Chain A
Amino acid sequence: MANAAISKPASHVHAEDHHHEEHHHEQGFISKYIFSTDHKTIAKQFLITGIIWAILGGALSVLFRIQLGYPDADLTWMKPILGRWLDEGGHILPEFYNALITMHGTILVFFVLTAGLSGTFSNLLIPLQLGARDMASGFINMLSYWFFFLSGAVMLASFFVPTGAASGGWTMYPPLSALAQSNEGSGFGTDLWITSIALFIVSVLLGGLNYVTTVINLRTKGMSIFRMPLTIWAFLFTAIIALLSFPALLAAGVLLLFDRGMGTSFFLSEIYTGGEALANAGGSPILYQHLFWFLGHPEVYIIILPAMGIVSEVLSVNSRKPVFGYKAMIYSIFAITVLSFLVWAHHMFVTGLNPFLGSIFVIFTLLIAIPSAIKVFNWIVTLYKGNIRFTPAMLFAIGFVALFIVGGLTGIFLGNSALDIDLHDTYFVVAHFHLVMGVAAFFGTFAGVYHWFPKMYGRYLNRTLGYIHFWITIVAAYLIFFPMHFMIGLPRRYPSHENFQFADMFGELNSFISLVAIISFAAQLLFVFNFFYSIFRGRKVRELNPWGATTLEWTTPIHPQHGNWPGEIPHVHRWPYDYGVNGREFIPQDEPEPGFVPEPEPVHRDPQNDQV
């Protein structure tokens, strides 16, 4: 870049500006807010869309928890909304129950915890923490959000088709999902589901390409890869996993569409429906499961890794201590990434999977506990003897660690194929994945929102409401999901257990769990109120670096504009965890070492004029 004439030996020099010419031109409303290419705006779009989907997905869970906990409840007063999905007694029809759990899973796993989590924080933090003016391609970033929006619109539409939303479980296994005549929800609703997911996959891939190339190419001067905050490492590997695993789901979806519409037999063979034999031969439903879980397992790491990155950051900032074992954390993320591609069939132990093959998957599954455990250990040591500030963000981060331990431990039980014979498809599994995904990952998200809300909106979220939100949620999480571990043998995905006498003993427990779930949902609505209220009326941020953090995002103005830094981008001189060093509480990454003298700019001499 031509900045030849040097006026003073500045300690900060231009980082290489790339393709952005739009620093100063006026933007219309549409290009500024709707089709924005600014990563901060797109992050907010992902966040708010994610919040809306979370409310919907959570509401669905309230409905089916009512069915499970209070099967005799009369919901006739909900007829205006639920209409024909209620029977005469005002009870939820089993068909609808299946659609509820399917949509709950689909919405929360994909729209909230993948798009809403990665989309928000990768977009917000990657440029800001790396010292870049924006993502590598703002245009592709914009497309990524709008494909997500489109996929959501298609999924929402599926609720309103005559046969209703897809009801084959969020995993959409054939033959149930392959035979439209088998189930109401397997009709057009499933076609819409597959289409929605295909659009969603496009969104994820576009986003992932941006995140990876931005991390590689757009770091500011001095930001070597081992000076990147752990958030960035987490987002980088998340994007890599996404790029390599979502294609398998795309392939599975395409083949499923062909089985549904063209009579092919990829996933069907020797099958009877309605008493008649179908002509399909040669395929296997287990093939779908293999393809699905080839995505499905990496997917859960796509969900948890960003939360882990956020937690590392929040714990460190609020303990005023460096993260313990920075490099071990990075290698653990790398190990988790690699191993996540090797373990998928542990979701399939009882399908009739070849048992020898299954045993290999057991070994890999147990291995993946090791890097996860290393991370947990490092977080705990980070807290040890720290000068802890119990902000709501910090509470959620600490809560994440606790919940991840409990949820992760039961994963080891499930990873043993012999034990899994008894545990598969029971509430033990439901407890496991809700604790790690449905709560821990959410806690990571909440920590991130509470921590970076000041950066996004220039205001603070209300602390009191934050404490209430935290305490109700964490107590509720344990009250809801811990007892589920002890519901031995209770099968999941059943609208009702009334035909099983042994299930009677869980009746009161189920009612209790449903009650707590409703209260917990209300607490989340409190958070939503806090969120939207604080955007407009929250206490204003008056200082650049309210949390006293070392990372670069806090060197931008309180309301960063397009291009993030009004002048030059800071250079980086140290790693992001200089807390409590040399008697100082923290040293920002862009502060030079004492006595640092910047390299002189290469002087361009014009041989004819010999002037600079």
Chain B
Amino acid sequence: MATGITHEESIKRVYRVCGILAIVTAVEIIAALSHYSWLGLSEEAKVAAKLPLNVLFIVLSAAKAYYIMSEFMHLRYELKPLTISVMAPFLFLIWAIIAFSYEGVSWLQLRTWFG
């Protein structure tokens, strides 16, 4: 499938990505559990940690998506135009996520201020 690499090398790459995904997932779970009360964090600490934790989750999930698409779905071995045609539509989602989230915040504010 991939130019120039052996069958054995292909298999190794798959297991390597499997390991990466497993580790990333484990990190995510541990980070999520840190928010749990057994760690004994104070309420203020939990609230303060929420935003950086969420950013971490989003970044790590994007990393997992990258590995799944590039190795499992073979995108890094495909010709460039195919890869671009698959990835480019995701750009449209960026503005959609921003606009919809902004709207959601706006609704909360309106409800809080106007009951």
Whether A and B touch directly in their complex, counting CB atoms under 8 A apart, is answered as yes
**Could you tell me which A residues sit within 8 Å of B by CB distance?**
244, 284, 286-287, 290, 294, 341-342, 345, 352-354, 357, 360
- Which chain B residue has the least Cβ–Cβ distance from A248? B96
B89 at the interface (CB under 8 A from A): yes
Whether the Cβ atoms of B95 and A290 lie closer than 8 Å is no
Whether the Cβ atoms of A354 and B92 lie closer than 8 Å is no
Q: Which one, A244, A290, A341, contacts B103 given CB within 8 A? A: A290
Whether the Cβ atoms of A294 and B103 lie closer than 8 Å is no
Min CB–CB distance B87 → chain A (angstroms): 13
Whether the Cβ atoms of A357 and B99 lie closer than 8 Å is yes
- Which chain A residue has the least Cβ–Cβ distance from B109? A354
Q: Which one, B89, B92, B103, contacts A286 given CB within 8 A? A: B103
User: Within residues 61 to 115 of chain B, which ones have a CB less than 8 A from any CB in chain A?
Assistant: 89, 92, 95-96, 99-100, 102-103, 106-107, 110
- Which chain B residue has the least Cβ–Cβ distance from A283? B107
Q: Please, how many residues of chain B have a CB less than 8 angstroms from a CB on the other chain?
A: 11
**Could you tell me which B residues sit within 8 Å of A by CB distance?**
89, 92, 95-96, 99-100, 102-103, 106-107, 110
Chain A facing B: main interface SS? helix
Counting from the closest, the 8 A-B pairs by CB-CB distance are A354-B106, A341-B92, A244-B89, A284-B107, A357-B102, A342-B95, A357-B99, A354-B103
Give A353 to B100 CA distance when docked, in angstroms: 11
Whether the Cβ atoms of B95 and A353 lie closer than 8 Å is no
Give A97 to B80 CA distance when docked, in angstroms: 53
Interface centre among A244, A286, A353, A354 (most CB of B within 10 A): A354
Residues of B within 8 A of A286 (CB): 103, 107
- Which chain B residue has the least Cβ–Cβ distance from A286? B103
Whether the Cβ atoms of A354 and B96 lie closer than 8 Å is no
Give A367 to B45 CA distance when docked, in angstroms: 46
Min CB–CB distance B38 → chain A (angstroms): 30
Give A353 to B89 CA distance when docked, in angstroms: 25
Give A345 to B96 CA distance when docked, in angstroms: 10
* 19 further A-B pairs in the complex, CB-CB below 8 A; given A284-B103, A294-B96, A360-B99: A244-B89, A244-B92, A284-B107, A286-B103, A286-B107, A287-B100, A290-B100, A290-B103, A341-B92, A341-B95, A341-B96, A342-B92, A342-B95, A352-B110, A353-B103, A354-B102, A357-B99, A357-B103, A357-B106
Give A284 to B106 CA distance when docked, in angstroms: 11
Residues of A within 8 A of B89 (CB): 244
Give A244 to B89 CA distance when docked, in angstroms: 8
Min CB–CB distance A107 → chain B (angstroms): 28
Residues of B within 8 A of A360 (CB): 99
Listed by A's residue number, 12 A-B pairs whose Cβ atoms lie within 8 Å are A244-B89, A244-B92, A286-B107, A287-B103, A290-B100, A341-B92, A341-B95, A341-B96, A352-B110, A354-B103, A357-B102, A360-B99
Chain B facing A: main interface SS? helix
Give A244 to B87 CA distance when docked, in angstroms: 12
Give A290 to B89 CA distance when docked, in angstroms: 19
Give A290 to B97 CA distance when docked, in angstroms: 11
Whether the Cβ atoms of B92 and A345 lie closer than 8 Å is no
Give A33 to B103 CA distance when docked, in angstroms: 50
Q: Given contacts A284-B107, A354-B106, is CB(A290)–CB(B99) below 8 Å? A: yes
- Which chain A residue has the least Cβ–Cβ distance from B99? A357
Give A290 to B95 CA distance when docked, in angstroms: 12
Min CB–CB distance B78 → chain A (angstroms): 13
Residues of B within 8 A of A345 (CB): 99
Give A341 to B93 CA distance when docked, in angstroms: 9
Give A337 to B100 CA distance when docked, in angstroms: 21
Residues of A within 8 A of B95 (CB): 341-342
Min CB–CB distance B19 → chain A (angstroms): 34
Residues of A within 8 A of B96 (CB): 294, 341
Give A353 to B105 CA distance when docked, in angstroms: 12
Residues of A within 8 A of B107 (CB): 284, 286
- Which chain B residue has the least Cβ–Cβ distance from A342? B95
Residues of A within 8 A of B110 (CB): 352
Give A284 to B104 CA distance when docked, in angstroms: 9
Residues of B within 8 A of A294 (CB): 96
Residues of B within 8 A of A354 (CB): 102-103, 106
- Which chain B residue has the least Cβ–Cβ distance from A212? B85
Give A217 to B89 CA distance when docked, in angstroms: 20
Min CB–CB distance A394 → chain B (angstroms): 36
Residues of B within 8 A of A284 (CB): 103, 107
Residues of A within 8 A of B106 (CB): 354, 357
Give A565 to B12 CA distance when docked, in angstroms: 49
Min CB–CB distance A321 → chain B (angstroms): 32
Residues of B within 8 A of A287 (CB): 100, 103
Min CB–CB distance B43 → chain A (angstroms): 24
Min CB–CB distance B111 → chain A (angstroms): 8
Give A360 to B98 CA distance when docked, in angstroms: 12
Give A284 to B103 CA distance when docked, in angstroms: 10
Min CB–CB distance A461 → chain B (angstroms): 39
Give A345 to B99 CA distance when docked, in angstroms: 9
Residues of A within 8 A of B100 (CB): 287, 290
Give A286 to B110 CA distance when docked, in angstroms: 13
Min CB–CB distance A296 → chain B (angstroms): 14
Give A286 to B103 CA distance when docked, in angstroms: 9
Give A287 to B95 CA distance when docked, in angstroms: 15
Give A528 to B95 CA distance when docked, in angstroms: 44
Min CB–CB distance B36 → chain A (angstroms): 25
- Which chain A residue has the least Cβ–Cβ distance from B107? A284
Min CB–CB distance A277 → chain B (angstroms): 14
Give A80 to B93 CA distance when docked, in angstroms: 51
- Which chain B residue has the least Cβ–Cβ distance from A281? B111
Min CB–CB distance B6 → chain A (angstroms): 28
- Which chain A residue has the least Cβ–Cβ distance from B89? A244
Give A354 to B99 CA distance when docked, in angstroms: 10
Min CB–CB distance A473 → chain B (angstroms): 36
- Which chain B residue has the least Cβ–Cβ distance from A289? B103
Min CB–CB distance B91 → chain A (angstroms): 9
Min CB–CB distance A441 → chain B (angstroms): 24
Interface centre among B99, B100, B110 (most CB of A within 10 A): B99
Give A314 to B52 CA distance when docked, in angstroms: 58
Residues of A within 8 A of B99 (CB): 290, 345, 357, 360
- Which chain A residue has the least Cβ–Cβ distance from B92? A341
- Which chain B residue has the least Cβ–Cβ distance from A270? B111
Give A199 to B51 CA distance when docked, in angstroms: 41
- Which chain A residue has the least Cβ–Cβ distance from B106? A354
Min CB–CB distance A154 → chain B (angstroms): 29
